[in-house]
Amino acid sequence: MYIKNIELINYRNYGRLNLEVGPSVNVIYGQNAQGKTNIIEAINYCSCLTSHRTYKERELVKFGSKDFSINMSLCDEVDNYSTDLCVKYDLDTMKRKLYQDNIDIRKVSSYIGICNTVMFVPEDLNIVKGAPSNRRKFLNVLISKVSPVYFDLINSYGHILNQKNVYLKKYSSNIDESILDYYDINLSDLSSKIVYYRLRFVLMLSRFAFNHHSRISDSKEELSLSYMSVSGLIELLVKELKLRLGDDFEDDFINNRIAGPDFDAIQALMSDYMLNKIKSSRQVDIDKGFASVALNKDDIDIKLNGISMKSYSSQGQQRSAALALKLAELDCIKTFTSTSPILLLDDVFSELDKNRRRSLISNIKDTQIFITCTDKEFILNEILDKNLFDNIRFYNVNNGEIFGSK
């Protein structure tokens, strides 16, 4: 799938932009603070409803305006069809509306995944060196792109956990334990499903990232990922998977080759285990006014040669790991959708050395690419090999206006 046209209305510094783009490489260049990143941020937002720069949708509205809209016309060469996506946000109502071919889409999970993107930005280093929330967001967004069920699970979990925390804080001196039972049973069931998904995808990511990192480092270093959740829960899941699938369970688990009765049994065991953990901390929760056993502390331990990169790693090693993870994200999406996602590269080439640039370029053929940069000549001379990329288009951005070309 590729984008044919992008229309922005009152988005960031664009009052109105209507841009026809090519199916191959689109280079958006210009000085800093002119609006280059705003374009690919808009593409990513229209695709998966997240921004790498803000959690607040009101910040996406052009100053002095009351709403914004993003429209993208898309073409799928594989299945031979065209479709239009539209996102609108209104400051007065603080509500977002989603459309496909002018038809209102009420469920976000029905919208995400229609058009997939993978975005590379300098901030991706935070996946490696930043807080656990960065890694959880990376994982949640990835899984949601290929699984509407998972998107609904994490949203339901977050909603119920928030309700429980509000109740604990508001009624700490007059707790009705039957209400907590209701919250805890639901949270336990949701937790078992979410952790199952997360472990499966972390194992998949680890395999892909290992291969990419091996090429980047000339096989001098080994990258691996480990999923960390509520104490004992992952160990229980792995134990049950080995019992039912054998010690070499990973291939069958990653490819979801597990019998229905076995899956149900594992889910029940995990749910019961989680419920016991939550109930054992009930008095602590009441005293503190919030849930102390929850998945909002989950993390991915990224290791280099068996040593956690949170403990020790250079900036160069962090860049290599972040690049390997983003390429692994690309592989995961291809695995589940059989198509290449649209690639959004925001000023990343200047952050990478020659070896890392070569590794990135070698993995992004046969897909639509958007690149932002300040130096057009740098892209022409050092990055894009015309034997690999045809029909490269360049667009010059100056103060929210685009000039250029085919």
CB-based contact 385:357 (threshold 8 Å): no
- Helix (H) or strand (E) holding 4, with range, is strand 2-11
CB-based contact 263:197 (threshold 8 Å): no
pLDDT score at 391: 79
pLDDT score at 386: 58
Pairing between strand 117-120 and 342-346?
parallel
Which token pair is 293?
């056993």
Question: Cα–Cα distances in Å, from 269 out to 163, 229, 279, 294?
Answer: 25, 16, 15, 17
Coil vs helix vs strand at 398: strand
- Per cent of the chain over pLDDT 90 is 80
Question: Does position 358 have pLDDT exceeding 70, yes or no?
Answer: yes
pLDDT score at 373: 92
Measured CA to CA, the distance from residue 404 to residue 394 in angstroms comes to 6
Question: Cα–Cα distances in Å, from 104 out to 66, 89, 98, 151, 268?
Answer: 21, 13, 6, 19, 37
Question: Does position 353 have pLDDT exceeding 90, yes or no?
Answer: no
Which token pair is 340?
């290449």
Pairing between strand 369-373 and 25-29?
parallel
pLDDT score at 310: 86
Measured CA to CA, the distance from residue 140 to residue 154 in angstroms comes to 8
Q: How many helices (H) and strands (E) in the chain?
A: 13, 15
CB-based contact 341:48 (threshold 8 Å): no
pLDDT score at 385: 63
Measured CA to CA, the distance from residue 381 to residue 377 in angstroms comes to 6
| Range of 27-36, 52-61, 182-191, 374-383 with top mean pLDDT | 182-191
Q: What is the pLDDT of residues 41-99, one digit of tens each?
A: 999 999 999 998 998 999 999 999 999 999 999 998 777 789 999 999 999 999 999 99
Confidence of residue 163 (pLDDT cuts 50, 70, 90): very high
Sheet of 223-228: strand order equals 223-228, 299-304, 307-308
Q: What is the pLDDT of residues 195-216, one digit of tens each?
A: 999 999 999 999 999 999 998 8
CB-based contact 196:267 (threshold 8 Å): yes
- Helix (H) or strand (E) holding 120, with range, is strand 117-120
Measured CA to CA, the distance from residue 154 to residue 131 in angstroms comes to 19
CB-based contact 98:105 (threshold 8 Å): yes
Q: What is the pLDDT of residues 136-158, one digit of tens each?
A: 999 999 999 999 999 999 999 99
pLDDT score at 384: 66
Which token pair is 63?
């100053």
The contacts of residue 378 (CB under 8 Å, 6+ apart) are 349, 350
Pairing between strand 223-228 and 117-120?
unpaired
Question: Cα–Cα distances in Å, from 357 out to 74, 215, 304, 348?
Answer: 28, 12, 21, 9
Total Cβ atoms within 10 A of residue 332? 22
Measured CA to CA, the distance from residue 183 to residue 286 in angstroms comes to 14
Range with lowest mean pLDDT among 177-191, 260-274, 381-395: 381-395
Amino acid (one-letter) located at 349: F
Question: Does position 217 have pLDDT exceeding 90, yes or no?
Answer: no
Question: Does position 371 have pLDDT exceeding 80, yes or no?
Answer: yes
Q: What is the pLDDT of residues 381-398, one digit of tens each?
A: 766 665 667 778 999 999
Q: What is the pLDDT of residues 278-323, one digit of tens each?
A: 999 999 999 999 999 999 999 999 999 999 998 889 988 999 999 9
On average, the pLDDT of the chain sits at 93
Measured CA to CA, the distance from residue 64 to residue 114 in angstroms comes to 32
pLDDT score at 364: 78
Question: Does position 259 have pLDDT exceeding 70, yes or no?
Answer: yes
CB-based contact 87:69 (threshold 8 Å): yes
Which token pair is 25?
């490489």
Pairing between strand 223-228 and 299-304?
antiparallel
In sequence order, what DSSP letters do the residues of 289-324 get, joined into one string? Answer: TS-SSSGGG-EEEEEETTEETTTS--HHHHHHHHHH
Question: Does position 11 have pLDDT exceeding 60, yes or no?
Answer: yes
pTM for this one?
A: 0.92
Q: What's 61's DSSP letter?
A: B
pLDDT score at 352: 81
Which of 325, 300, 326, 321 has its CA nearest to residue 117? 326
Question: Cα–Cα distances in Å, from 180 out to 39, 157, 271, 278, 301?
Answer: 46, 15, 16, 10, 32
